[in-house]
Amino acid sequence: MVSSGYEELDHTADIALRVWGEDFFALLRQSARGMYDLMGVKGDWKVRKKVEFIIEESNREIQLVDFLNEVLYLIEDDGTIVETFTFSSDQSGLRVHGSGYEAKSIQRNIKAVTFHNLVVEETDFRLETRITFDV
């Protein structure tokens, strides 16, 4: 069994992913990778970038949407594709450090990450969710 991953799901109007990970941080990483895949992003590996941002303390669903919307902002407004993420928690919330590279092109724009039917479910072995994106 693959402990972390994602797959695109059929959706009538928008696009959606099923994402799973061995813990919440793996779920966040796989969600970002899946979103990049849906967007068809291409990058310039020679231009390295670093980012840092904070996601306020909340439940898993809100933190997931806030995280993905921040990642979406970084690629669309700053031109940054974050390849690796590290996480730490402190009194301000979830601190995210990332490194990646400059975006060269995006094939499909995503307007926003939605809360439509979003539930992070915990099984014996992993966390799993379905994420719907407004396109």
CATH of the domain at 116: 3.55.10.10
Q: Which whole number is the average pLDDT over 18-40?
A: 97
Q: Which whole number is the average pLDDT over 22-45?
A: 96
Give this prediction's pTM: 0.93
Count of structural domains, the chain: 1
**Token pair 């990970």 is at which residue?**
21
Does the structure show a pLDDT above 70 at 11? no
Does the structure show a pLDDT above 80 at 2? no
Strands (DSSP E) found in 1-135: 5-9, 15-21, 42-55, 80-90, 93-105, 112-113, 121-122, 127-134
Task: Check: CB of residue 129 under 8 Å from CB of residue 9.
Answer: no
Q: Which domain holds residue 39?
A: 5-134
Q: Which whole number is the average pLDDT over 72-88?
A: 96
Give the pLDDT confidence of 98-112 residue by residue, as tens digits: 999 999 999 999 999
Mean pLDDT over the full length of the chain: 93
**Token pair 């949407």 is at which residue?**
65
Kind of pairing between the strands at 127-134 and 121-122: antiparallel
Give the pLDDT confidence of 39-79 residue by residue, as tens digits: 999 999 898 999 999 999 999 999 999 999 999 999 999 99
Q: Which whole number is the average pLDDT over 17-39?
A: 97
| 12 or 111, which is more confident | 111
